Chain A
Amino acid sequence: MAKANGWCGVEVQGNSSSKYTRTTELRRVEDNDIYKLATILDVNACWRKLMSIIPKVDVQACSAAGAVKVSANGGRKYTAQDISLIDGVAERLPPDQSISQVMIDEWKTSGKLNERPTVGVLLQLLVEAELYSAADFVALNFLNEPKPERPTDGPAAHFSLELGDDMDVDT
C-alpha cells in the first residue's frame, strides 16, 4: 500500500474505487471537493502552515509519480509576503468563501507540466506539516486510503486510555 509520506519514486497504486489518484493534478480535483478540504484548512489557519512549506520544485521533482522531493537547500515556493497577500484577500472575502480555497487555487494553477501539484504531493505536505484533519480527509475521501499513521510522540500522537491506572472503576 502506498504510504502517505513517500518520497520521489513511491509506487503509485491505482484504486478503482477512489475518486482521484496520487498523480491527479490538484487543478483536476472538483471545486466542491477542494471546498470541503479548504473549510478544514480554514480552522486554526492551517492554510498558512501548508503554504509556508510548499517547496520550490527543483529539476529532480517527479510530480508525475505523485510525490515531490524537497530540494536540499529547503527552498520554499512562497514567502511571508506572499502569505500576507493572501491574508489581505481574506479580509475582503464574503463569509461563504474560504481563504484556504483562495490559496489552493493560486497553488494548483502555478507551474508547468510535471511541476504542478498533485493529490499525492498535497497529502505528503499535509503530513509533513502535521495538518492531520486535512491529511485524513484527503486520504479517506480523495484516495480511499487509510488515514496516515501518527507519530508516537507530540501533539499528533494518539492519546489513549491507559489501563492499570490507580482509579477505581465503577461497574
Chain B
Amino acid sequence: NANRTRSRSHQDDTLLIRLLPVSARHQLCVHLDSLDVWQQLATAVKLYPEQVEQIRHQKDRGRSPSNEFMNIWGGQYNHTVQSLFALFKKLKLHHAMRMIKDYVSEDLHKYIPRSLPTISDL
C-alpha cells in the first residue's frame, strides 16, 4: 500500500452514480443490457477478476449485469455520473451518454454526437 501512487486532488463534486434516481438507473441498465456491454465496462474500469465473476454470476441467475456493475463501480467505488459519462464516451456508447446528459454539466453535452436522422424525420 505504501507504494501505491495517489492521484492529484480531483474536482468532481457532481452527482454520484449511487444517487441516480431509480427510474433513470433502471432505464440505463435495460439499455446497456440490451447491448450486452457489461464486460467492456468492467474491462475499461479495470475491475478485478473476482468482481467480473460476481457480475457474471448475477447474469447467470437472470439478474441485470449492468446493475451489478453499477453496484460495484458506483456502490463501492463511489464514482460520479460524470465519470460514467466519460466511460460511455470512451466506449462510444452514445445513446447511453444521451440518457444521462441531464445529470452531467451542460458543457459536456458537446461530447454527445448528433444522432443520425431516422427515415421518419426526413
**Do A156 and B108 touch (CB < 8 A)?**
no
Query: Shortest beta-carbon distance, A163 to chain B, in Å?
Result: 10
**Do B110 and A170 touch (CB < 8 A)?**
yes
The answer to whether B5 has its CB under 8 Å from any CB of chain A is yes
Name the B residues within 8 Å of A44 (CB-CB).
71-72, 75-76
> Which parts of A112-171 form the interface with B (CB within 8 Å)?
128, 130-133, 135-136, 146, 149-162, 165, 167-171
The answer to whether B51 has its CB under 8 Å from any CB of chain A is yes
Query: Shortest beta-carbon distance, A3 to chain B, in Å?
Result: 9
Query: Shortest beta-carbon distance, B48 to chain A, in Å?
Result: 7
The answer to whether B118 has its CB under 8 Å from any CB of chain A is no
**Do A149 and B76 touch (CB < 8 A)?**
no
The answer to whether A5 has its CB under 8 Å from any CB of chain B is yes
**Do B110 and A43 touch (CB < 8 A)?**
no
Count A/B pairs, Cβ under 8 Å. Answer: 89
Q: Size range of the interface on A?
A: 20 to 34
CA distance A171 to B106 in the complex (A): 12
CA distance A150 to B85 in the complex (A): 19
Count residues of B near A (Cβ-Cβ below 8 Å). 36
**Do A155 and B51 touch (CB < 8 A)?**
yes
**Do B47 and A151 touch (CB < 8 A)?**
no
CA distance A43 to B18 in the complex (A): 10
> Which parts of B51-93 form the interface with A (CB within 8 Å)?
51, 71-73, 75-79, 83, 85-87, 89-90, 92
Name the B residues within 8 Å of A167 (CB-CB).
89, 92, 111, 113
Query: Shortest beta-carbon distance, B69 to chain A, in Å?
Result: 11
The answer to whether B40 has its CB under 8 Å from any CB of chain A is no
**Do B89 and A161 touch (CB < 8 A)?**
yes
> Which parts of A24-53 form the interface with B (CB within 8 Å)?
43-44, 46
**Do B46 and A154 touch (CB < 8 A)?**
yes
Name the A residues within 8 Å of B86 (CB-CB).
159-162
Given contacts A160-B83, A160-B86, contact A151 B78 (CB under 8 A): no
Name the B residues within 8 Å of A161 (CB-CB).
85-86, 89, 108, 111
The answer to whether B45 has its CB under 8 Å from any CB of chain A is yes
Given contacts A158-B83, A159-B86, contact A151 B5 (CB under 8 A): yes
Name the A residues within 8 Å of B72 (CB-CB).
44, 155
When the two chains form the complex, which single residue of B46, B76, B90 contacts A133, counting CB atoms closer than 8 Å? B76
The contact sample of 7 A-B pairs, CB cut-off 8 A, is: A44-B72, A132-B77, A133-B18, A152-B6, A157-B7, A160-B10, A161-B85
Given contacts A44-B72, A135-B78, 16 further A-B contacts (CB under 8 A): A43-B75, A43-B76, A44-B75, A44-B76, A46-B75, A130-B77, A136-B78, A153-B46, A154-B48, A155-B47, A155-B48, A155-B51, A159-B45, A160-B86, A167-B92, A167-B113
